[in-house]
Structure 1
C-alpha cells in the first residue's frame, strides 16, 4: 500500500542563489551568447517561447516548482520562497490540457519579486498577464483552469523544455528562447561571455562592410577536404 503523500515538499536547496555579481554578469546578454559560451548546450526546446513577443531580456536565479499535470500547487507554494530577481520555473511535466498559470499567479509572483515566469505548459488570461507586466515564457495559450491540490515539490530538480533545472541555476531568456546555466558552471560561463561578445561584434562589423564568405569557409572549400562531385 502506498503511503499518502504530503501535499507539498520543500527541497533542501530552496534558498540557494548565485551572488549578486554572478547575476549581474548575465544582465543584458543575448541567449545566443550564453549558449555559445556553453559550447552549444543549455537551451530549452522551441516550444517554450515568450508570451509577449516584444523585445524583452531577463536573467535571474531559478526557483523551481514541480507540479503534477493539470496542477499548480507547487507553483503557488513557491510564492513564499521567491526572492527579488528570481525566475519562477513552473514545471507542468509538459501537460498541455490546461493552463499552468494565469494572470493572478503572474501578478502574485511579480509582487513577490520574480522577474519572469517560465513553464513547459500553456498559460491563460493573456490580456491580464500583459497588464501585470511579468515576462512569461510558455508553450502557448489554453483557457482551461488547473487544480491546486498537489502533490508537488518546491526547490527540487525539474525537467523543463528538455533541460534539467535546479534552484539557483541561472536563467537567461529573451525573444530567442530560454537558456539554463547550471549553478556550478555560472562562473566559467560568465568568464567566456566577453570573448564570445567580442567575436560576435567583430563578425557583425565585417558583415556590415560586405563580407560574403568567411575566410575559414573559403579555405575549406579550397582544400582537399572538399570534393567536387
Structure 2
C-alpha cells in the first residue's frame, strides 16, 4: 500500500474551535440536525474530559502504526489526531509513548478507530483518548498509508482541519467550513434548553411544554385507571 503525507492543510478558525469547545457532543450533534456523530463504539478511556481541536487524519494498515509516527510530525498546537485503518482492527496501535510525543507538540487528544493501550498511563499524564477498543496487542511498522487525507469512521467523513469535539458521550466532527455557523446554532439551542430547564424546575411537564398530549391522541394512546385495566376493560 503506497500513500501520501499532505502537509499544511487548511484548518478551522481557532476562535470557532474554542467556541465549539464550550458545547457538549450531544448539543453539537443536535445543532447539526443529528449529524456529525461518530458511532457509539468510539469510547473514552477517561471520564469528565472534553477536548476540541482540529483534525490531523491518519489512514493506517491494520496492526501497523507506521503512519502514526509520520503523523506526529504534522501535528501542532490545538490539533486532535484521528486514526482509522483500511479494514477493521482492534490491535493497540497507540500508547503512552505516542501520547508523550504528541503532548509535547500541543496536541489535545487522540481519536482512534482501532485499539489503544497504556490507558492507565494516559489517564495519569492527562492525555485524552477515545478508541474503538482497548488492547495490549502490539503492532508493526511495515506498511505505507496516508496522513491528512479524508478518512471515514462509522460512515462519517473526517477531513483534515475539521473540528473534532469529544467528551464522555462520544465524538463529533464539525466540517471546518461550518464551524462558525454550528457554534451559533449551539448558542441558540443552549438558550432554548435553559428556558426549558427553568420550566421543568418550576414543575411544567414535557407533555405540555412540547404539546405532546395532542400527539398521543393522534396516535391513539389513551389513559385508563389501573382498576379498569386490571379488569380487562379496553377503550
TM-score normalised to structure 1 length: 0.89
Q: Does 1:220 align with 2:235?
A: no
Question: Counterpart in 1 of 2:127?
Answer: 134
Query: Cα offset for 1:33?
Result: 1.0
CA deviations on 1:56-82 (whole Å, 9 max, x unpaired) are 111111010110111111211111111
Matched-pair contact (CA < 8 Å) for 2:90–2:134: no
Question: Counterpart in 1 of 2:27?
Answer: 33
Question: Counterpart in 1 of 2:65?
Answer: 72
Looking at structure 1, the residues matched to 101 and 144 of structure 2 have their Cα atoms a distance apart, in angstroms, of 21
Change in Cα spacing, 1:172 to 1:104, as seen in structure 2 (3 Å) is same
Question: Does 37-46 or 69-78 show the bigger shift?
Answer: 69-78
Looking at structure 2, the residues matched to 162 and 210 of structure 1 have their Cα atoms a distance apart, in angstroms, of 41
Query: Cα offset for 1:26?
Result: 0.7
Secondary structure in structure 1 of the residue aligned to 2:93: coil
Q: CA RMSD, aligned part only? A: 1.8
Looking at structure 2, the residues matched to 76 and 217 of structure 1 have their Cα atoms a distance apart, in angstroms, of 54
What is the number of residues matched between the two proteins? 220
Matched-pair contact (CA < 8 Å) for 1:49–1:139: yes
Question: Counterpart in 2 of 1:81?
Answer: 74
Query: Cα offset for 1:94?
Result: 5.6
Query: Cα offset for 1:97?
Result: 4.1
Larger gyration radius, structure 1 or structure 2 = 2
Question: Counterpart in 1 of 2:6?
Answer: 11
What are the equivalent positions in structure 2 for 1:126-205 lying under 5 Å apart? 126-205=119-198
Matched-pair contact (CA < 8 Å) for 2:77–2:106: yes
Tell me which of 110, 117, 133 is aligned to 1:124. 117
Question: Counterpart in 2 of 1:51?
Answer: 45
Secondary structure in structure 2 of the residue aligned to 1:187: helix
Looking at structure 2, the residues matched to 76 and 67 of structure 1 have their Cα atoms a distance apart, in angstroms, of 11
TM-score normalised to structure 2 length: 0.87
